[in-house]
Amino acid sequence: MGILIPFLLLLWIVVVAVVVVVLLVARKRRSGKGEEQARQSDTSDTLGEVLKAHRKRCGMTQEFVAEAVGVSRQAVSKWESGLSCPSTANLLTLAKLYGVSMEELLRQAEAERRDTQAE
């Protein structure tokens, strides 16, 4: 019994230390993912703004764009709000629909991103 108590105390300290390390590693991973998502969000937000501006310039609704591209209205909404980005094929279709090149859409999104960062 004399050695059992120090052994259990040592075991408890080791378990607590392992839990703390696991929690710190998980937190670090989450924060790293958050930074990556923030970088992606910067790009998708600006691309979304460009897509929305072109859609409005053309006098189109999200429903019309969705039907023309072959996706749901919710997908178009997510693209425009920056929650997701269209695939390359969908981006090409959007560019044709809006009467601009895909390169122009991406160039405008990049310019918008730079303007936003400069502010």
pLDDT at position 38: 45
* pLDDT tens figures, 44-95: 568 999 999 999 999 999 999 999 999 999 999 999 998 999 999 999 999 9
Residues 6+ apart with CB under 8 A from 92: 102
Q: Which candidate, 95, 14, 18, 80, places its Cα nearest to that of 49?
A: 80
Secondary structure class of 39 (helix, strand, coil): helix
Q: Give the relative orientation of helices 73-81 and 62-69 as an angle to the nearest 10 degrees.
A: 110
pTM of the complete model: 0.62
* pLDDT tens figures, 7-40: 888 888 888 888 888 888 877 777 665 554 444 4
The answer to whether the beta carbons of residues 95 and 104 sit under 8 Å apart is yes
